[in-house]
Structure 1
Amino acid sequence: MLKQEQLKEIKALQEICEKEGGFHLKLNDDMLENRSANRQEDFFLYEGGKLVAFLGSYGFGNKVELCGMVHPDYRRKGIFSELLEMGLIEAKKHGASTILLNAPTESQSAKDFLKNIPCTFAVAEYQMKWEVTELSDDPSVTVRPSFSKEDWEAEIQLEISCFGFSEKEAREFQQTISENSSDQRLIVEADGKTAGKMRVSDSNGEAWIYGFAVFPELQGKGIGRRALSRVVKMEHQKGLPIFLEVEAKNAHALGLYESCGFRSYHSQDYYLYQN
């Protein structure tokens, strides 16, 4: 578990790097605030008592994403290479079969660094923000907290069928989310039957929607749009700006989010590390 002082140091360094580079770093605030105590996922480097470099590791089943930063005054000194090596060793130790290196699309310094790393471009991801839009309300689709054993199993099956997790990975991921995350776990119901799920994180004055999925056999029926509309309206009533992320290649999801009023404002590039 990270200390509050460490979280403040990360945020301060992030602001410096983003202002200098004109990009947005994806450091997953919700995951940083809910770290597990049984593995190392964060790597720090200090100079003169000041944090000058940070790398975060984020696990999703058999996949690990690595994202970090170095203070502009301390670049080209091999600092990030040192942190990356530590992150890679830890990811391999825990059996990650896929390691993705995350870099803001607009970051030239990240692209220059990655030229010397054995990796290939994998996918781009859009970060989207909701713009106030009139949303419909359909009582046949509801969203409620996940609370039962049946809900738990449905969430696991959705991770398997929609995100490519193995059953073992899905159960481990579900357990980790349950134990270490303050996210709201929500179940989507259509005509009284479980149809999908999502998580919502209210943190640092923002609402983020994660892990949104509808069973494949129920997709294309408007369930996702109606469920998303309900959650967006719920978060909007709290006065929070609302965000989510989607892979650029996922045209169906991108179209769904845009139809509900989400607009892209940043993008992240992911590079597959050649282990």
Structure 2
Amino acid sequence: MLTLEQLHAIEALQKECEQADTIQLKLNWDMLRQRDDLTMDFFYEENGQLLAYLALYGFGSSVEVCGMVKPSERRKRHFSNLWQQALQVIEEKGFQKILLNAPASSLSAKEWIATQPCIYEFSEFQMQWVQQSLKESTDILIRQSLPSDASFEIQLDVLSFEMSEEDAQHHHDAIKNRTEEYRFIIVADGTDVGKIRVSKIDGEAYIYGFAILPEFQGKGYGGKALRNIVKQQHEAGYSIGLDVEAKNNHALRLYESIGFKAAQAQDYYLWN
């Protein structure tokens, strides 16, 4: 596990970078707070102060990369040096796909990415819910996931997120014991039709892994389930956010109809 001192240093550097650049970094705090592999974090410090940080996030055979450098310490190769260390770990662990993550409006990130052998892959929006009245749907049941639901959740990840069965299994094993994350099964007319995950950290509920079986799509189940989840989390006192791929027009329209607004964009680059 990362120490509290390390987590506080990462958070302080994140706030400084975000304020200086008017951006929002995607540091996956739900994963950082429950790290069980400390070889995935890279620090550069001077005189006890964190100046640069790089994190790897493994998802089966893929790995995502995110990092930051103190604004006054940029262009000193701190991040490039951390990246060389990270590449060694990526090779040792056998990751097959590397995605570099950068806030869409971050000039410093784009300058560094331009020096790397990578190509643009996709963008996603970070969306926040704007409070409005939502009607609860009583014909949809949302229950907590059970161990016996594992194969169903894995099947949904394969069908909905272009994951191999091996990667979906690995991902499920990695998240199933997270203490700040809650997994739910969506039930319609007594049939399991989908799933959704909610991570709760520092007063915010973040929605992940929202998927409906293909044969049940277009029936309104997804919209009803999402409204119920948002209403439930709002009444519990949480702000609510989620990520959606920018080209997923159907999901964007659904989220916007419920009250989500795009706050920031993240760009992903495939590293060769």
Task: Give, in angstroms, the shift of residue 165 of structure 1.
Answer: 1.5
Give, in whole Å, the separation in 2 of the partners of 1:110 and 1:148: 41
Task: Give, in angstroms, the shift of residue 27 of structure 1.
Answer: 0.5
Residue aligning to 2:160 = 162
1:225 matched to 2:217? The reply is: no
Give, in whole Å, the separation in 1 of the partners of 2:170 and 2:154: 9
What 5-or-longer segments of structure 1 have no aligned partner? none
Give, in whole Å, the separation in 1 of the partners of 2:208 and 2:87: 25
Give, in whole Å, the separation in 2 of the partners of 1:198 and 1:41: 27
| Greater mean deviation of Cα atoms: 241-250 or 40-49 | 40-49
Residue aligning to 1:74 = 73
Q: CA deviation digits over 1:102-156, x for unaligned, max 9?
A: 001110111111111001111111000001122232222111100141x111101
Residue aligning to 1:63 = 62
Task: Give, in angstroms, the shift of residue 28 of structure 1.
Answer: 0.8
Aligned residue pairs total 272
Residue aligning to 1:47 = 46
Note the 1:130-145 alignment, pairs <5 A.
130-145=129-144
Q: Secondary structure at the match of 1:113?
A: helix
Task: Give, in angstroms, the shift of residue 180 of structure 1.
Answer: 4.2
Root-mean-square deviation (CA, aligned residues, Å) is: 1.2
% same residue? 47
| Greater mean deviation of Cα atoms: 117-126 or 78-87 | 78-87
Task: Give, in angstroms, the shift of residue 35 of structure 1.
Answer: 1.0
Residue aligning to 1:22 = 22
> Given the two structures, how large is their TM-score scaled by the length of structure 2?
0.97
Residue aligning to 1:211 = 209
What 5-or-longer segments of structure 2 have no aligned partner? none
Q: Which amino acid aligns with 1:128?
A: M
Task: Give, in angstroms, the shift of residue 181 of structure 1.
Answer: 5.1
Residue aligning to 1:236 = 234
1:152 matched to 2:150? The reply is: yes
Task: Give, in angstroms, the shift of residue 18 of structure 1.
Answer: 0.8
Asked if 2 retains the 8 angstrom alpha-carbon contact of 1:126 and 1:245, the reply is yes
Residue aligning to 1:184 = 182
Q: Which amino acid aligns with 1:97?
A: Q
Asked if 2 retains the 8 angstrom alpha-carbon contact of 1:104 and 1:267, the reply is yes
Residue aligning to 1:36 = 36
Q: Which amino acid aligns with 2:222?
A: G
Asked if 2 retains the 8 angstrom alpha-carbon contact of 1:56 and 1:67, the reply is yes
Q: Secondary structure at the match of 1:36?
A: coil
Q: Which amino acid aligns with 2:164?
A: S
Q: Which amino acid aligns with 1:20?
A: A
- Identify if the C-alpha distance between structure 1 residues 40 and 179 changes in structure 2 by more than 3 Å, giving closer, same or farther: farther
Q: Secondary structure at the match of 1:24?
A: coil
Q: Secondary structure at the match of 2:67?
A: strand
Asked if 1 retains the 8 angstrom alpha-carbon contact of 2:186 and 2:225, the reply is yes
Give, in whole Å, the separation in 1 of the partners of 2:248 and 2:96: 22
Moved >3 Å (runs of 4+)? none
Q: CA deviation digits over 1:30-59, x for unaligned, max 9?
A: 11111124x621111101110100011112
Give, in whole Å, the separation in 2 of the partners of 1:164 and 1:92: 23
Q: CA deviation digits over 1:54-76, x for unaligned, max 9?
A: 01111222221100000012111
